Structures are given as structure tokens and as C-alpha cells.
Amino acid sequence: MMTGKTIMMSAAEKAARLQAVIAKATAYIGTKEDPIGSNRGRDVDRFLLAANCAPGNSWCMAFVVAMFAWCNYTDVNGVKILIPTASCQAQANHARGLGLLVSADDARTALQPGWVMLVWEGGGYHHAGIVTAYNPFLGTFETIEGNTNTTGGREGTCVARQRRRIRDLNEGRAKYAFIRTA
């Protein structure tokens, strides 16, 4: 659950806390819906609850919100970096309003583990994950994502690790944007 309490922390403390978020997310790799295809299950329902969302809804952003909330990293140094929602678009709009939404072009020189990845599809942001690594030389980044599948789709049934290319396009525009969390 989110406490709504602002946490003041140094850059080193933020880095350590983001590593805790990644470790927490890593522990959930392999978690599956139960029954498969239901957007339900003991852990999936807990992710949705952390995002103030009813069981049975799409849960990729709820997974992200839960990982950050459970590591006490939502209100940081007076900035509410994530809000309790399962909507990727609402989260993107919130981040944009705070100046935390980073385009793929700008992320090429700044992307960090612990940032939140957003995927553009169908005229909006409809999938999310937590960045765990970035290789600027190859232009690839790795994520842990909920509600995904082995091909990186947005309507999957599990928590999985993905590798993506930052330059990918979708609908003639950059496929990814990121929420800067530190």
C-alpha cells in the first residue's frame, strides 16, 4: 500500500532504493495468472490492489506501481513520481505534467535502471515495464514486465524479462517513452 508520505533521500539512497525495486520485480519473474488468461491470481490481484484497481483488469502498470510502492519509492523528495493507477496513459500524463516523461530520443543518452518504460500502441501508451539495464552501444534495454508474454506483448499472462531496442518504431513514431524516476 502507498503511504502518501514524502521521502527525502540522497542520490545514493535513490539508487539503492531503485535497485531494491528491480530486485523485488526480479523475484516475481515467472509469476502467472491463475487461471491463465483471466488477469487474476493471488499475486496479480495484489498488484492491482496496489494500483487501486479491481481484479481482472490489465495489470502491467499495476505491477510497476506495486513494485515501486512496496519499496517505498512513489513520493520522492516532494515529487509523486507514480500515481496509484493501472492505466499506462494516465501514468504517462501524470509524468508529462511533472516533466518526468522522457522521449526515446532523449533517453538514448540518459536511460537508467529503475526508469519506467512505456510502450506506444493504438494511439496511446498501453504497456509498461521496469528498466533493468541499458546498453547505449547496442541501443538495447532490458525490462521486467507484468502482463506480458515471451514475445513482449502487452496482453500476456506472466511476469517476464524482455530485451527491446530503443529505436523501435510503432505507428510511425518512437515506440517507447520513459518515466524518469531518479
- List, as one string, the DSSP characters of 18-63: HHHHHHHHHHTTT-B-SSTTSS-SHHHHHHHHHTT--TTS--HHHH
The domain that contains 33 carries what CATH number?
3.90.1720.10
In tens digits, the chain (182 residues) has pLDDT values of: 444 556 688 999 999 999 999 999 999 999 999 999 999 999 999 999 999 999 999 999 999 999 999 999 998 988 999 999 999 999 999 999 999 999 999 999 999 999 999 999 989 999 999 999 999 999 999 999 999 998 888 889 999 999 999 999 988 889 999 999 98
User: In this structure, is residue 5 part of a structural domain?
Assistant: no
User: In this predicted structure, what is the pLDDT of residue 6?
Assistant: 61
User: In this predicted structure, what is the pLDDT of residue 153?
Assistant: 85
User: In this structure, is residue 2 part of a structural domain?
Assistant: no
CA dist., res. 22 & res. 16, Å (int):
10
User: In this predicted structure, what is the pLDDT of residue 163?
Assistant: 97
User: In this structure, is residue 80 part of a structural domain?
Assistant: yes
User: In this structure, is residue 34 part of a structural domain?
Assistant: yes
User: In this predicted structure, what is the pLDDT of residue 13?
Assistant: 93
User: In this predicted structure, what is the pLDDT of residue 5?
Assistant: 58
User: In this predicted structure, what is the pLDDT of residue 8?
Assistant: 82
User: In this structure, is residue 1 part of a structural domain?
Assistant: no
Number of separate domains in the chain: 1
User: In this structure, is residue 3 part of a structural domain?
Assistant: no
User: In this structure, is residue 113 part of a structural domain?
Assistant: yes
User: In this structure, is residue 31 part of a structural domain?
Assistant: yes
| Structural domain containing residue 79 | 11-179
Which of 2, 141, 140 minimizes the C-alpha distance to 64?
A: 2
